[in-house]
Amino acid sequence: MPVKNKANVVIIGGGVVGLAVAYNLALLGIKDVVLLERAYLGSGATSRCGAGIRQQWGTEMNCALARKSMDIFENMNEMLEVKRDIELKQKGYLLLAFSEEEMEQFRKNLKVQSKYDIPSREVTPRKARDIVPHLNLEGIVGGAFCPTDGHVNPFLVTEAYANAARRLGVDIYTYTEALDIEISGSKITGVRTDQGLIKTDRVVNAAGGYSQQIGEMVGLDLPVKSERHEILVTEKIEPLQGPMVMSFSYNIYCQQTPEGPFLMGYGDPDEPESYNLNSSWHFLEEMTRKAARLLPPLKHLRVIRQWAGLYNITPDRQPIIAESEEVPGFFMAIGFSGHGFMIAPMTGVLLAEMIAGEDPSLEFKLEPGRFERGDLILEPSVV
């Protein structure tokens, strides 16, 4: 489909982040918003992700972002007038500690979380087993549990934002690729697509695992890299496990989705930087070994499918949500480092406010300059 030849803002990337930004811009009354997606909506990391949403973070900013995003997820069916329920399931996240040191960190995090009304609490190993009866307690010294964390269906959330954005007048072009960004001086003048040129002076980089390529289009070497992360799904069974079970040190996340299958993954510390999306046999073996040890009854389940998606990672594993200082009008919502789905609702709100020149509804600082200054965000709770 040929594209419009002029726009107020052009968003590159039709994942959950780009669509949340599009919807919120339209909600603030910004007209002529265009979103470009080179495949179908959600085809990137969004529909490949683990669908987990948690509020148990260790920095004030992340607690605020996650808590407020949860408020939005809880009201999303009504707010976005969805056609299909987004399948929110709040059965909690159980985080497991395998050393006293890890447990100490959890206690510190819990203090921060309580300031933000996040109803998380410390659990003893025995309490952990009350919550997840099939848990193997070997090596576990304790944990933290937040009953309102959980799961939402990423593809349906994406659809919900897309439909709501369209109703507010946003033009969404799928199978349309941004090829280059035209610049004169340091000012953006347009986006060249495979369906024609769109004149604009504002661009949003929401290209997920390909965000560095969009950066190159305006001459920026963005501090992000991409890395494959694998995941698998089992056959469905009757409800067995309420919460997501997760451990940073044992390196696993595993949840049962509302329809009944289990989703699980871990981060391979030796994974190289790449755009590789192939599935590996190594992952299948290591994943099933980890799951069978921690959650023994799951070993009887059949693996139905495995796949991979890209994490877009920054040096401190915290996102960049900012306008470029070098190229004014170039906005970024990138580098989500494996947790961009759960904070997409607030990302959409905050970036739209920034573009519209309004006061942010919560205080945050996620500019890329922190990497040059060596002023990294120290978030202890990343996978």
Partner 1 sequence: MEPQNTIICRCEDLTLAEVEEVIAEGYTTIEEIKRICRLGMGPCRGSTCLQLIDRILARQRNCGREEIKMPTNRPPLEGIKMKELAGDAGEK
The residues pairing with 231 across neighbouring beta strands, listed in sequence order, are: 265, 307
Minimum CB–partner distance for residue 250 and ligand FAD (Å): 17
Residue of the chain from 5, 6, 31, 40 that contacts partner 1 (CB under 8 A)? 40
Residues within window 243-302 making contact with ligand FAD, judged by CB under 6 A: 265
Contact 229, 265 (CB under 8 A): yes
Q: Provide the 3-class DSSP secondary structure of residue 93.
A: strand
Q: Which of 77, 293, 353, 377 binds partner 1 (CB under 8 A)?
A: 293
* Residue 266 one-letter amino acid: Y
Cα–Cα distance measured from residue 139 to residue 131, given in angstroms and rounded to the nearest whole number? 17
Binding mask 44-63 for partner 1 (x = CB under 8 A): ---x----------------
Q: Which partner, partner 1, ligand FAD, none, binds residue 298 by CB below 5 to 8 Å per kind?
A: partner 1
Output 112 or 301, the one with its CB closest to partner 1: 301
Asked if 180 interacts with ligand FAD (CB under 6 A), we say no
- 300 touches partner 1 (CB under 8 A): yes
- Residues touching partner 1, count (CB under 8 A): 33
* Residue 25 contacts ligand FAD per CB under 6 A: no
Residue 336 interacts with, from partner 1, ligand FAD, none (CB under 5-8 Å by kind): ligand FAD
Contacts 24+ apart (CB under 8 A), 174-177: 174/14, 174/37, 174/39, 174/40, 174/41, 175/37, 175/38, 175/39, 175/40, 176/1, 176/3, 176/36, 176/37, 176/38, 177/36, 177/38
Site for partner 1 in 72-111 (CB under 8 A): 84
Q: Which stretch binds partner 1 (CB under 8 A): 141-149, 217-225, 302-310, 372-380?
A: 302-310
Per-residue contact flags (x/-) with partner 1 for residues 143 to 182, judged by CB under 8 A: ------------xx--x-----------------------
User: Please, how many CA atoms are within 13 Å of residue 167, restricted to the half-sphere of its CB?
Assistant: 13
Neighbours of 162 (CB within 10 A): 25
Residues 49-68 that bind ligand FAD (CB under 6 A): 49-52
The residue from 58, 215, 261, 309 that contacts ligand FAD (CB under 6 A) is 309
| Interaction of residue 36 with ligand FAD, rule CB under 6 A | yes
CB of 80 to partner 1, least distance (A): 16
DSSP per-residue string spanning 315-340: TTS--EEEE-SSSTTEEEEE--TT-T
Contact present, 352 and 24 (Cβ < 8 Å): yes
Nearest to 12 by CA among 245, 173, 237: 173
Tokens encoding 40? 């179908």
Determine if 329 is a binding residue for partner 1 (CB under 8 A).
no
Residues that bind ligand FAD (CB under 6 A): 12-18, 36-39, 43-46, 48-52, 177-178, 206-210, 229, 231, 265, 309-311, 336, 338-342
